[in-house]
Structure 1
Amino acid sequence: MGNPVATNILGTAGAVCWSIQLIPQIIINYRRHHTTGLQPSMMLLWAFAGIPLGIYNITSNFNIALQIQPQILTFLSLLTWSQCKYYSSKWALQKCALVTSIIGILLAGVEVGLIFALRIPQRKGLQWPFTLMAVLSAVFLSLGVLRHYWDIYQHRTVRGISFLFVFIDALGDLTSLISVFFEEKRDILGMVIYGSELVLWIGVMACGGWFNLKPWVGKWLRKRKQETDELSGGGQGNNAVMMHDVPSSTSVFRTPGPNEGTISRRVVRADENDA
C-alpha cells in the first residue's frame, strides 16, 4: 500500500540532493581551474540519461519532485561537461556556451517530443516503450559511473572527483529509491534505475577508502611516529652533545668531545716541555 506523504517527502529529498549534487564538483573545478581526472564522457552520458529518465518519470506520473529531478540532472551535467571542455580541452568560453546550449535545446526537444509521442502507446496499454526508457536511463547512468571505474583501474586512485558530490548523489539515489518504494504502485524498473547507480557509487566510495584514504592514514601515522621519534631522540642527542662539550671524569664510558682530543694532546706536550 502506498504512502503519499512519505513518497513526496523522500522524493523531494532526492530532488534536492540531485539539485545540489554536482555543485561541489563545479565549485572545485572552478577553484582548481582544471578538471584532470573528471571524465567528460561521464557528464555527457548523465546528461543523456536525464532524458529517458525524465520521460519515464513524467509518463509514470511520479511525484512532482521526481519529475523535475531528471531535468536538473541534465542541466548540471551539461554545465560540468562544459567545464571539462573549457579547462581540459581549452575550448573558448563562447564555444562552450554555444555548444552546451545547442545540446541542451536538442535534448529538451527530444524529451518533450517523446513524452507526447509515448502517450499514444500508453493509452493502448503498451508497456515496452516505457520499459525501454527505464532501461536506457539506467544504462546511461551506469555507464557514466563505470567510465570513472576505468580511470580508477588505470591510475589506481580516485582522482578528479569530489567525494562530497559522490556522497550527495548516493544519498539522492537512496532517497529516490525509497520514494519509489512507497509509491502506490510499486515500480520495479524505477527502483532498478536508482538502485543500480547507488551500488556503483558505493563501489566508488569503497575504492576511495582503499586507494586514497588508506594510504593517507598510513602516511599520517608514519609522520606522527617520526615526529615522536625525533622528539624523544632529539632530547637524547642534545644531552649527548652537552656531555661531549663538558667532560666528566666520573663517566667511564664518556665519548671524547669534538675538541677533547686536541686539548689532551696540548696538555701532554706541555707536560713534556716542563719536564
Structure 2
Amino acid sequence: MDNRVAENVLGTLGAVCWSIQLLPQIIINYRRHDTEGLQGSMMLLWAVAGVPLGVYNIVEEFNIALRIQPQILTTLSLLTWAQCLYYGKKYRIVKCCVAVTSLLLLLGGIEAGLIFGLRAAKNRGLEWPLILMAVLSASLLAAGVLRHYWDIYVHRTVRGISFIFVGIDAAGDLFSLVSVLFGPPIDVLGIVIYGTELTLWIGIFICGAVYNLRPWIKEHCRQDINVADPLSLHPMPSSTSVFRTASGSRVMERRPWHNSS
C-alpha cells in the first residue's frame, strides 16, 4: 500500500514537472525577443511525441495528471516552436498562429482516432500497438534532445536553451523513473524510456559545465586579477589589446598635426 502511494505521488510530481517544463524557456524567449540556438525541430518532435504519449496514457487509464500532461506538452511545444518562427525566421504573428492552430487540430484528430483504435485493439488482447506508442513517444522525445547535441557539437557551446527548463524536465524524468521502480510489476520499458531521457539531460548539463560555466569562471577570475593589479597583465597583452594599443598610438600621432593646424 505504501509503495502504491509513493508510486502515485512520484508519478504526479513527474507529470507536474513535465507540464510546466517549457514555461521558463517561453518566458526567456519572450524577454530576449530571440530564439537563437533553440532548435525548432526539437520543439516539433516534442509536439508530435505528445500524441503517442497521450494515447498510451489514456488507453492505459493512468491518473488524470498523466492523461493531461501530454496535451500540455504538445501545446507548449508548439507555442515554443511558434516563437522560433516569429523571433528566428521573422514570420508574421498571424502566420505563426495559423501554423500552431492547424497543427493542434491535426495532431488532436490523430490522437483521438488512435485512442479509439487502440482501445478496441486492447479489448481484443493486442498489446503491441500500445508498446509501439510508448516506444515511439520515447524515441521522438530523445530525438528532440539529440538534435540539440548536434548544435552543441557544431558551435562548441550550449546556446538558446534554458537550464531551468532542462532541470525541471530532468526532475520529471527522475520522479517518473523512481515511480516506476515503486510499481508492483517493474516496468522495464518505462525504466528504459525515463532513464534514457534523464541521461541525455545530464549530458546537456555536463556540456553546459564544460562549454559555458568553465569559460565564465575563467573570465571572472581574470577580471578579478585585473581589478586587483591593473599592471599584472601588461607583460603579456592579448591580441585585442595589441590592436587597441596600435590604434591608440596612431591617434596620438595624429593629435600634434591637428594641434599644429
2:209 aligned with 1:209: yes
Mapped partners of 2:218, 2:105: distance in 1: 49
Q: Deviations over 1:40-66 (max 9, x none)?
A: 000000001111111112222222222
2:59 aligned with 1:30: no
Deviates more, 1:91-100 or 1:150-159: 91-100
Look up the match of 2:125: 125
Look up the match of 1:54: 54
Q: State how 1:1-275 maps to structure 2 within 5 Å.
A: 3-230=3-230
Pairwise CA distance, 1:13: 1.0
Pairwise CA distance, 1:185: 3.5
Pairwise CA distance, 1:190: 2.2
Q: Deviations over 1:210-257 (max 9, x none)?
A: 000011111111111222223999xxxxxxxxxxxxxxxxxxxxxxxx
Residue type of the alignment partner of 2:193: I
TM-score, L = length of structure 1: 0.80
Structure 2 CA distance for partners of 1:61 and 1:34, relative to 1, 3 Å: same
Mapped partners of 1:63, 1:47: distance in 2: 21
Any conservation in 1 of the 2:35–2:87 contact (CA below 8 Å)? yes
Structure 2 CA distance for partners of 1:3 and 1:52, relative to 1, 3 Å: same
Residue type of the alignment partner of 2:70: P
Residue type of the alignment partner of 1:161: I
Mapped partners of 1:189, 1:65: distance in 2: 20
Any conservation in 1 of the 2:56–2:130 contact (CA below 8 Å)? yes
Secondary structure of the structure 1 residue equivalent to 2:230: helix
Any conservation in 1 of the 2:226–2:232 contact (CA below 8 Å)? no
Mapped partners of 2:15, 2:151: distance in 1: 28
Q: Deviations over 1:114-153 (max 9, x none)?
A: 1110112212222211111111111100110000000000
Residue type of the alignment partner of 1:162: S
Secondary structure of the structure 1 residue equivalent to 2:89: coil
TM-score, L = length of structure 2: 0.85
Mapped partners of 1:89, 1:29: distance in 2: 14
Any conservation in 2 of the 1:118–1:129 contact (CA below 8 Å)? yes
Q: Deviations over 1:179-210 (max 9, x none)?
A: 23323443222222222111101000100000
Structure 2 CA distance for partners of 1:7 and 1:65, relative to 1, 3 Å: farther
Pairwise CA distance, 1:172: 0.9
Look up the match of 2:244: none
Structure 2 CA distance for partners of 1:24 and 1:85, relative to 1, 3 Å: same
Task: Kindly name which structure, 1 or 2, has the bigger radius of gyration based on alpha carbons.
Answer: 1
Structure 2 alignment gaps of length 5 or more: 234-261
Pairwise CA distance, 1:4: 2.5
Aligned-residue CA RMSD (Å): 1.8
Mapped partners of 2:131, 2:229: distance in 1: 64
